[in-house]
Amino acid sequence: MAQSLLFEIGTEEIPSGFIVPALEFMRSWIAGRLSDAKLPHEAVEVFGTPRRLAVRVTGLAEKLPDTVENRMGPAKQAAFDNEGNPTKAALGFARSAGVDIKDIGFVQTPKGEYLCVTRTIPGRPTDEFLTGLLQDMIFQIPFPKTMKWSNPDVRFARPVHWIAAVYGGRVLPVRFGDVEAGSVTYGNRFMAGSAISIPDAQAYEDLLTKSYVIPGIEKRKELIWEGVSMNARNLKAEVRDRDLLDEVANLVEYPHVIIGRFDDAFLKLPAEVLVTVMKHHQRYFPMYSLDEGSALRPYFAAVSNIVPKNDAVVRTGNERVLKARLDDGKYFFEEDLKVPLEEYAEKLRDVIFHKDLGTSYEKMERFRNIARYLAETLAPEKKEKVAEAAYLCKADLNSLMVCEFPELQGIMGSEYALRQGRDPEVARAIREHYLPTSAEDELPSDVIGDVVGISDRIDTVCGCFGAGMIPTGTSDPYALRRQTIAIENILLAKNYRVSISELIDRSLQELAARLKRSAAEVKEDVLSFFRSRFVSILQGRGIPSDVIEAVLQGFDDPVDTFMRARAIADVRHQEWFASISSASKRVENILKKVQVSGSVSEDLLAQDEEKALYGRFREMEGSFIAHAAKGEYAEALRLLAGLKEPIDSFFDKVLVMSEDEGVRKNRIALLKALVGLFDRVAQFSKIST
């Protein structure tokens, strides 16, 4: 008869961000080991609240399946003598296998017949298997940080107070430190703190719900969203911040929504200040107007862990706390506006960016110069605005508001710039130069933000590499991978034709006095780092691996590299593409074996086939280069297809390694010219056809 398992670890309140990863580990751990053991079962479900991590497995068979063991012995030839009597080898094998020699069988293998003992091993009882599995798992659950308490032999995210391990109505003898498993759990700490006996796994959710605990995370999220949405509708408002759900749902066990209000006067503050205080500091849901776009309403939704006797008491407490935070914000905002942004920018001279890379002001000067350099190519008419935005974009780091609420960096600088009469484009760039903050995030809306953001990031990447702070497989404290991908995504999305090599050179020139390694060595490492990050971008856009390898041979301009990769991916399955690849590979194979120098001399072209090949090459070279310069690589590839026949004829009829040294070098130079043309698109030998 199938049985169910309920395993719960009861703790002090676990940080909200720890809960979901721990539950996913528990689910995969148990599911994987049940699968490995071939133990029949149904669903593996997980439950979690701040005070518990739990897993339930239904439909478990009462014992593991029997297994058949084949134990191989010596070869038959070595096991019996010429008279058919067992040798010492056979007798020893029988003794070690615990069987009589006459019960041993034989099995045919590719190497001949061997002795074999086959026996059926009964499956272990499921409760024995589960006890070992759970005992191992509890020590393996990963957390970003763990702690010790009065139980010094074990570590966990928070102190463990109880363990419930119930299988088929029986308690499994699991132990963690000095905590032994039982069949008891506990309800809401404040509303139903007494012990609850678990008769079987199926009763788990109902028992906890009656004791004011909703064990399912998704159910709590659903209840929270329904509650805040309904209350918002009653106020003719709406809630939008679903991203807050994951955190709030893992801060409470029994969500109860309470609506609060704040003074309308605070609506004069920038909306981001109010939202930051409510969401990131108080975990409240802001409310927005239905009629006025994104305008905030003077209401918020707080989620309590209890159902209070009087909502008004809890509401008043939350309103009092929020008012204190908003009063701080109002004071910071008003005081900051009294200080020109230039003054805050100058104070960056006293702020250390990094001990090896100087002050934040020095960093700003470096990337402002890089920004001017980039603006000359990408937006010469906005060069002065780019320089102004670069000078001011870090100024708000010294403001009172950002010192208190670091999440508002860039946002407050932009707000202060506007209120102090700065150009709106400059103000927008101050806010947006931090974008994108992730692969999915939006990009800056104009070229000024793009240029300042790229310049800031390339200074950080080159500076860290130059100081020896290079990311490893598990460590990237300065988020250099993310910053590199952000640069490449901006260039791709905006179609900016920028040489990464030249950009690195410009940055290293600014950093010359700070480098701890040679500039050439740093450049090689940074360029390789950009190249490897670009692989991820191309993979994310569906470019096949062999095409990526082929186009990265000439990686420098990300836009050009992407256009080449996309063109090859689009046409690689057309018939004529195979002929290009084949011709290129034949030429490359010849050139691997010889030294190449000099250019083609028409006077030394002796045979019709090499004359024909050279003529076709010269005929299409100009058009090919023109198409490639415009990024029209599909058209350029079609032109290359026209070289297939003359290349084949050349190899069929012409001896490249002629005894005449001049003719030989001339033919090699012709092949080198052909490879140079092919390599403008890709190294075709890397592409499978």
- Is a pLDDT exceeding 80 seen at residue 313? yes
Identify any residues that bridge with 288 across adjacent strands, giving them in sequence order: 238, 296
Q: What are the angstrom distances between the C-alpha of 255 and each of 52, 190, 238? A: 16, 13, 19
**Residue 617 — pLDDT band, cuts 50, 70, 90?**
confident
Q: Tell me which of 269 and 100 has the higher pLDDT.
A: 269
- Is a pLDDT exceeding 80 seen at residue 274? yes
- What is the residue whose two structure tokens read 């609060």? 260
Q: What is the pLDDT, as a whole number, of residue 473?
A: 79
Average pLDDT over residues 497-503: 96
Q: What is the pLDDT, as a whole number, of residue 594?
A: 67
Question: Percent of the chain scored above 90 by pLDDT?
Answer: 66
Ranges 276-285, 471-480, 589-598, most confident: 276-285
**Tens digits of per-residue pLDDT, 27-55?**
999 999 999 888 888 999 999 999 999 99
Q: What is the pLDDT, as a whole number, of residue 428?
A: 98
**Tens digits of per-residue pLDDT, 281-311?**
999 999 999 876 669 999 999 999 999 999 9
**Closest among 166, 206, 168, 165 to 187, alpha carbons compared:** 206
**Tens digits of per-residue pLDDT, 409-430?**
999 999 999 999 999 999 999 9
Q: Which residues contact 365 (CB under 8 A, 6 or more apart)?
A: none
Q: Is 57 helix (H, G, I), strand (E, B) or coil?
A: strand
Q: What is the pLDDT, as a whole number, of residue 637?
A: 84
**Tens digits of per-residue pLDDT, 215-269?**
999 999 999 999 999 999 999 999 999 999 999 999 999 999 999 999 999 999 9
Domain boundaries, the chain: 3-63+125-210, 67-121, 217-337, 351-540, 562-686
Q: What are the angstrom distances between the C-alpha of 65 and each of 6, 35, 60, 125, 565? A: 22, 12, 12, 9, 52
**Residue 543 — pLDDT band, cuts 50, 70, 90?**
very high
Give the Cα separation of 377 and 394 in Å (integer).
24
Average pLDDT over residues 352-377: 96
- Is a pLDDT exceeding 80 seen at residue 689? no
Q: Tell me which of 251 and 90 has the higher pLDDT.
A: 251
Which of 157-166, 315-324, 388-397, 603-612 bottoms out in mean pLDDT, i.e. has the lowest? 603-612
Q: What is the pLDDT, as a whole number, of residue 103?
A: 74
Which of 147-151, 269-273, 316-320, 400-404 bottoms out in mean pLDDT, i.e. has the lowest? 147-151
Render 379-448 in DSSP notation, one character per residue. -GGGHHHHHHHHHHTTGGGGSHHHHH-GGGTTHHHHHHHHHTT--HHHHHHHHHTT--SSTTSPPPSSHH
CATH 3.40.50 fits 562-686, yes or no: no
Q: Which CATH number fits domain 3-63+125-210: 3.20.20.80, 3.40.50.11890, 3.30.70.100, 3.30.70.260?
A: 3.30.70.260
Q: What is the pLDDT, as a whole number, of residue 595?
A: 67
Q: What is the pLDDT, as a whole number, of residue 292?
A: 64
Q: Tell me which of 655 and 467 has the higher pLDDT.
A: 467
In the chain, the amino acid numbered 149 is W
Tokens of 652: 């069929």
Which of 88-92, 332-336, 427-431, 460-464 bottoms out in mean pLDDT, i.e. has the lowest? 88-92
Are residues 56 and 256 in contact, defined by beta-carbon separation less than 8 angstroms? no
- Helix ranges (H only) for 264-350 are 271-275, 311-337, 341-346
Q: What is the pLDDT, as a whole number, of residue 474?
A: 79
Average pLDDT over residues 6-25: 97
Q: Which residues contact 526 (CB under 8 A, 6 or more apart)?
A: 461, 462, 465, 504
For the beta carbon of residue 218, count every other beta carbon within 10 angstroms. 10
What's the mean per-residue pLDDT of the chain?
A: 91
**Tens digits of per-residue pLDDT, 56-67?**
999 998 888 877
Alpha carbon 243 to chain centroid distance?
18
Domain at 351-540: CATH code? 1.10.3210
Overall size of the chain counted in residues: 689
Q: Given phi > 0 = left and psi -120 to 50 = alpha, else beta, which region is 128?
A: alpha
| Strand-by-strand arrangement of the 296-304 sheet | 237-238, 285-289, 296-304, 256-261
Q: What is the pLDDT, as a whole number, of residue 176?
A: 95
**Tens digits of per-residue pLDDT, 191-208?**
987 899 999 999 999 999
Q: Is 42 helix (H, G, I), strand (E, B) or coil?
A: coil
Q: Given phi > 0 = left and psi -120 to 50 = alpha, else beta, which region is 479?
A: left
**Buried/exposed 627-648: b ≥16 CB within 10 Å, e otherwise:** bbeebebeebbbbbbbbbebbb
**Residue 368 — pLDDT band, cuts 50, 70, 90?**
very high
Q: What is the pLDDT, as a whole number, of residue 351?
A: 95
**Residue 161 — pLDDT band, cuts 50, 70, 90?**
very high
Average pLDDT over residues 428-435: 97
Question: pTM of the predicted model, to two decimals?
Answer: 0.81
Give the Cα separation of 58 and 201 in Å (integer).
8
Q: Tell me which of 64 and 530 has the higher pLDDT.
A: 530
Q: What is the pLDDT, as a whole number, of residue 492?
A: 96
